[in-house]
């Protein structure tokens, strides 16, 4: 039996999920929480097989909850259930090691398939989410190709957008501060922007982060 813990800030969603699986012998809802803080507290004593988790919640969102659980050494297989098919969210989920994502308009069959895949050690990102992510990545690559940024320049753009200093970038990439400055000047020239603010705006607009 797959033990499920549900975290969503809408009681109607929790009730709906509980109703969906009430007659499914392979699944048991062992608990729920209405936000990340409540979930973090309850999961101190609960060890579900799969965490069914919303992203946007008050007090602590889904991604923050995943990080908090990791920090205390409790890594639970996680399936995100969300209304938002946003490639930025999806990139964050993958970076955090989240095993899957299903949209809230999914049917019982798709949701059950996702839970089973994750429980068995796999990953499951629904087709709609995967398609949106791939389209975003293709646009990002087109933007990079258009301005002819090198792989190293893309790395530096990302680090600058994440507010790393010149010295921090140099240390992270094992290059000199002078080399970082040179790359930054070249990037600004290629992008046709006036300053670092323009560079950061480019990074966000082209989904480099």
- Domain spans of the chain, in order of start: 2-132, 148-205
Q: Is 57 helix (H, G, I), strand (E, B) or coil?
A: coil
The pLDDT assigned to 193 comes to: 74
User: At the top level of CATH, which class does the domain 2-132 belong to?
Assistant: alpha beta
The pLDDT assigned to 8 comes to: 93
For residue 72, give Cα distances in angstroms to 41, 61, 76, 123, 198. Answer: 12, 17, 11, 23, 39
Alpha-carbon gap, residue 47 to 202, rounded angstroms: 43
Burial of 72 (0-12, 13-18, 19+ CB in 10 A): exposed
pLDDT profile of the chain (209 residues), mean per 10: 93 90 87 93 91 88 90 90 78 81 85 91 80 65 70 84 85 90 85 74 70
Alpha-carbon gap, residue 16 to 138, rounded angstroms: 36
Q: Three-state SS string across 137-195, please?
A: HHHHHHHHHHHCCCHHHHHHHHHHHCCCCHHHHHHHHCCCHHHHHHHHHHHHHHHCCCC
Q: Taking the model in full, what pTM does it have?
A: 0.66
Chain centre to alpha carbon of residue 24: 29
The DSSP bridge partners found for residue 28 are 3
What phi and psi, each to the nearest 5 degrees, are found at residue 50?
-135, 135
CATH number, domain 148-205, options 1.10.10.10, 1.10.1740.110, 1.10.357.140, 1.10.287.110:
1.10.10.10
Q: Are 203 and 160 in contact (CB under 8 A)?
A: yes
């Amino acid at each position: 039996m797959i033990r499920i813990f549900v975290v969503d800030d809408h009681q109607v969603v929790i009730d709906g999920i509980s109703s969906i699986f009430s007659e499914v012998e392979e699944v048991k809802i062992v608990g729920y929480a209405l936000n990340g803080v409540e979930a973090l507290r309850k999961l101190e004593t609960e060890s579900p097989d799969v965490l069914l988790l919303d992203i946007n919640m008050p007090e602590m969102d889904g991604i923050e909850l995943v990080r908090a659980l990791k920090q205390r050494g409790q890594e639970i297989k996680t399936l995100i259930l969300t209304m938002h098919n946003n490639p930025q969210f999806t990139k964050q989920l993958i970076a955090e090691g989240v095993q899957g994502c299903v949209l809230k308009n999914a049917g019982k069959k798709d949701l059950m398939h996702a839970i089973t895949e994750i429980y068995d050690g796999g990953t499951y990102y629904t087709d709609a989410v995967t398609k949106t992510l791939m389209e975003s990545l293709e646009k990002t690559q087109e933007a990079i190709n258009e301005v002819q940024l090198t792989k190293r320049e893309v790395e530096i753009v990302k680090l600058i957008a994440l507010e790393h200093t010149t010295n921090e970038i140099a240390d992270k990439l094992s290059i000199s501060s002078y080399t970082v400055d040179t790359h930054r000047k070249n990037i600004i020239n290629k992008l046709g922007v006036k300053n670092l603010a323009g560079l950061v705006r480019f990074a966000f607009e082209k989904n480099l982060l």
